[in-house]
Structure formats: C-alpha cells, structure tokens
Structure 1
Amino acid sequence: MLLPLYLLAVAVFAMGTSEFMLAGLLPDIASDLDVTVGTAGALTSAFAIGMIVGAPLVAALARNWPRRSTLLAFILAFAAAHAVGAITTSFPMLFATRVVAALANAGFLAVALTAAATLVPADRKGRALAVLLSGTTVATIAGVPGGSVLGMLLGWRTTFWAVAALCLPAALGILTGVPAGRVKEEATGGLTLRAELAQLKSPRLTLVMLLGALVNAATFAGLTFLAPVVTDTARLDELWISVALVLFGAGSFVGVTVAGRLSDQRPTQVLAVGGPLLLIGWPALAVLADEPVALLGLVFVQGALSFALGSTLITRVLYAAAGAPTMAGSYATAALNVGAAAGPLIAATTLGTAAGDLGPLWASGLLVAVALLIAFPLRTVISPGRRAEALR
C-alpha cells in the first residue's frame, strides 16, 4: 500500500471521530442546549443527510479539480465548521454546522475513495478500502472514547475544538503526500458525467447500495443511543460509556481487517456467515443489556460484524460502479450515509415506546432482518461471478 493511502486514512480518522463522537456526548449536548436526547440525536442524522446530498454533488463538481487541493480545501472547511460548533449556544446553529461539516466530509470521502481505488491494482479495491476505513475504526477505538472522556471532564465543546485541531496535521499530510493530479485525468475511460450517472440504473449497483444502507442504518441506530443503555440499563458509571465505545471500535477494526482480505473474492461467504450472526446479536444485546459483562462482550462482537458486513457491501459498490470511475466513491459514501441518517431517526421513534432505552437495539435487529430478506434471494447478484456481471 502506498503512503498517500495511509495519509488519507489519517484524515478519515479525524472525520470519523467527529461522525461517531456524538454517541458519547448526546446527553451533555441535550442538557446544555435545552433539548431532549432524541432531538439531540438528530445531529447524527444532520451529518448523514449532509453526506448523502454532498457526496454525489461535490464529486460531480470536483471531477476536473486538482485532487490534492480539493482534499485540502475539504478538510480545512471541516475544521472551520467544528470551530463554529464549539462556540455556538444555539441548537439550530449547531445543527447547521453539522450539515456543513458533513458536506466537507462527503466531498473529501468521495474523492478519497476514488483515489484509493486508483492507487492499487484493480483486484485490490477491498484492501484499499480497508486501509481507508481503518481511519474510521481507529477513530471508534481511540478518537471517539477519547472525545467522550474529554467531553465529560471539560465539556462537549472541548471535544469539538479537539477535532478541529486534529484536522491540521492531516491537512499537512495531504499537502505533502497526495499527488496533485486532477481527478478526471487519473480516471480511466474518459466517460462523461451523464454516462457515469447512468451506472445508477444497474440492478447490481442499486442492490448493494441498498444493502449497505440498511446494514449501516442498523449500526447507527444502536450505536447512537448506546450511552443511555450503558448508564441506565446496565447501571454503569459514565466512564463505562467510553469503555463500550472502545470495545465497539476494536470490534470494528477487527471486522474491517478481516473483511478487507475477503471482500474482493468472497463477499457472499462474508454475508452468509456474518449476516445471521449480526441479526442474532442485536436482540441478544437488548435482552442481556442489564448484564454488564454480556453487554460489553456483545458490543465488541456487534462492532466486528457490523463493519465486516458494511465494508464488504461498500467494496461491492465500488466494483459494481467500476463504469463510473470518478463517481464511484460518491455512490459508496451516499449508501453509507443514507443508513447513517435513517438509523438514528428510526431508533429515536422507539425511545417513547415500552422498549425505552433498548428500543434502538431492537430497531437495529429489524433493519438487519430486512437486509437479509432482500439479500438472500438475490445473493448471486452480489457475488463477483459471471451471473452477477450479467446484471450490471
């Protein structure tokens, strides 16, 4: 793997810390800005909505832009949005900064995913994606729990400042390590934007994007509202929220690493084994949430399974969108964040039911069940074999 790929992963670490950190900060944000925890959870959806809209839009605009300066502009805009978020006393303004940060993140990730695929041989996209996503998984292991502890000790605003500061060394790495070529010049085929957008009509691409969105929705539904489960249901101290997030992140790192070695050639096997286990895991987590040892163990397992399946499906998006060399990254980003937007919104509706704090975990299980019901009869479409290629 080339050094620029790891430098991109550093930037993804900063952005991943921001995207996931709200899981440990929602109660404090809600209290400080005088809103409910459910309303504060909409900040996660705001970020995801910005990613959904921004990924294809910015990727289309950036087709002819210099790659290095484009990535640099996005990460600096991301840092500025967090600086504004750190000083605002208005929930609508904080919501707006999350959308702006998401737009910058979307543009960065869309260009970075496409860049990562061009930095490795054509049959190593899964491994390249695993390196890039390792920035996200390391964020869940170190950045997010660290942000949670920092927020608990010094307030949630300090965490926003820390993310802004974290962007600066990542920006320096991009400036010194990423090639300055233009996106379109480095892509193959010389396709027009219309031709690349036409790839969205592919049944195979549509399917894997849908499945990726559903699995990611399940991940964010449970993760966003994990803090109340740890403190209220399991009756653990607030510091254990960080422990739970570390375990989820460690699991996600394991899942991405393993899937990175399998998703290029054996995606069907990953889904066939991991899918049912993930489906069982979310209800099990809900049932055993009042047992701290079981809760923490299952958090690790669910992190591993969620990211193994999610990264495998997003790798299949890149393969299925091979005919859209400059837009494929935006399709993968959009799929991820449709799920990230929908998951917390769906989960929030369960908080006022009899399920209470455990409602989001049950919602996660339901979302995985829907994904498997769709995937099972169409599993040959996901496979890289000839039958799948015929449906592209």
Structure 2
Amino acid sequence: MRRTPHRRLFAAALLVASVLAPPAVAPATAVHAVNADGPGRDDGRPAGLGPELTARLDKAIEDVRRQAGIPGVVVGLWMPGKGSYVRASGVADTVTGKPMTTDMRIRIGSETKTFTVTALLELVDDGLVRLDDPISTYIRGVPNGDAITLRHLAGMRSGLFSYTADADFVKDLEGDPTRPFAPYEVLSYAFRHANTFAPGARFQYSNTNLVLLGLVIEKVTGAKLAHFIHDRVLRPAGLRHTLFPKGAEFPEPHPHGYTDQTPSGAIADATNWDPGWAWAAGAMISDLRDLHRWARIVATGTLLSPETQRERLKTLPTGFPGTSYGLGILETGGWIGHNGSIPGYESVTVYLPSRKATLVLMLNTDVFSQGQEPSTLLARAITEIATPENVYDRPVPPR
C-alpha cells in the first residue's frame, strides 16, 4: 500500500518520484568492537561484549536485516562496565556492492529535532525566550497563534496541521524531489488547514511545529538557524562530523539511500534529493561517532541548565503504549532520545540512564517491513538481547 507522510509518527517523510532497481541484501562485513569512548579509538582497554553476547547480536541483526530487506546498517552499542559493540553490515551501494562502513555519514531525519529544540532551550537559559510564550510573539499568521506556546510546539501538542500531510505539498515534491523549499513556503501548505485540536489537548506529531521553532531561533538571534546550531550546539558538543546542509550537499563517505516513498511504491535512490523541505524538523547529517556523543548530551542535559533539562524531560503520553514525548525528545522502554526517518535513511540515537548505555543505529533505507520502520525492528531486537529489562519498542500508527 502506498504510504503517506503524515502516517509516520517520529519521521520526516514524503512521497517522491524516480525509480531504480530494488535494493539487494549483501553479506555482512566484519564485526568491529571498540571501547565505550567511541568508534576508532584504541587505548588497549577491554572492549568487546564477550563472544556469547556478540554472537547473539550478530545473528539478531543479520536476521532482521535480511528479513526486512535492509541494504546496509551500522550499529553502535556502548554499555559501560560490560564493553561495546560496533558493526557495519551489508552494502552502501546496491549497484556496486560497496560495503557499509562505520565511518559513513547519513541523513538523520527527525533526529534534527533534538538539535533544534536544544538550540531553543539554550535561548530559554539565556533569558531570551520563555517556553510559555505564544508563537504569535515571534511569528505572525500562525492559526490560533495567541494560544499556541513554544512548549506546545516543542512537545508536539500545538494542534497545527503538518505540511507533510498536505496533498499539494506531496504533489509538488513528486514533481521534483530535488527542488528547494523555503520555511515560509512549507508553512503555507499547513496554514491552509484548520487546526486539528486545541493547544495542549493531545499529542500529534507535526513537522510544522519545528519549522516554526527554527524561525523563532532566527528571529531572536538574528542568525541563520544552521549557523546558530553550529556555534551554540555542535561546537560546544564537540560534534565535528554533524552539519546542517545548505541544500543537497552530502559529505563523503556516505551510503546511497533507498526509499519506496514514490507515487508507485517502487524503490528509488534518494541519495541526492534535497532535504531542505524538512529544515529544522529533519534536514541534518551526522555519523556514528557524533551520534554516540550526542545521545548522552541530550539525555543528561550537558548543554542546558538543570532546570531547563527537567522541563525537557517532562514527557507526556503520545497515545501509543510505551512511548512518551517531551520537548523534542522521546522515551520508550527507559531509553531517551529520538529516531529519524527521511527518504532513503533511518536512524535511532538513544541513551539508557539506568545503565549509562547508548544505542545508535544508521540505516540506508526507510522502507517499512512488517508494517514497521526497519530501525524500530532492529532496535527492538538488539535491546531484547542486550537490555531485556529495557526494550526499545516504539510503535507506529496504522497505515
């Protein structure tokens, strides 16, 4: 069945055209075990999770990868006191058979929201904005803007229609998936629709919310969102391989990304599609090393005051059992962080405070399997083995 973008709970997705051969599933590459300080560092300390646990993870990951038809995946699992596990499996290019490697960058989709909301919360700490300010204080023309607060927007409780669910937006993207979109242009698709509920009444995932928060950051700081996030978030966090692209730029090395977000549902190569339509909601790029660092920073509030971090972590029910949502952050099975999906790519970056554990997944497909996102299938399989008392089990709404 053809999938529509508004049916994807924690994803920035769309429908586009362009058809290629379906992705092939290749044999796994070697398993790389590294210490808990991150991939690539070797200081002589024991690192692996042990042969039994490693073998179980190897099998579970390969079983899911093959059953779900995932071309390539990178898995990073760091468990202080036990060790760590990093694996690149499958192919980065289904045409050439180039293997997936752990140093590749991917488009992280809705994980961008953790960066945008962190930037906003830094402005809260600076005293330049307040979470309970109405959006109308900063941006004109927002439906019911006098009642919708920045907190409602960051927590996905504004009631604003998501522009990715607008039929004309989908049609325009289908016409040219490489075209750029400006923030106010995508908002125009959303604002032609009535709000879906009163502010704060319930949870509804809407990319419109994050585009508005991006505009608030620009209005208050006088800086481009990409520049502000670089200077106030990426640099202090020590994230050297994470960026907010200007357009379709995609630094090497990166895998090709495969999607069925096309009018016919056929598989397409989305590698060079412009993610600008997602902007503050889903346009960023990162790699395994940076996401490993970022998981703990987001979950523990390293860049924020303790008071503001407490506000961020006040998660509320989403309506989907087992998953709650705070300010640009989700909680599922005790894991805190976010997942991301954009045509061709999926990711998961989460942190488990009770174990100080981190899980990062990077996939080069967003094609559903068994009615679920492939990243969810992998995260569930891994955590059922590694942290059975804390299983990542984020559900998705029915199609």
TM-score, with structure 1 as normaliser = 0.28
- Name the structure with the higher strand share: 2
> TM-score if structure 2 supplies the norm length?
0.27
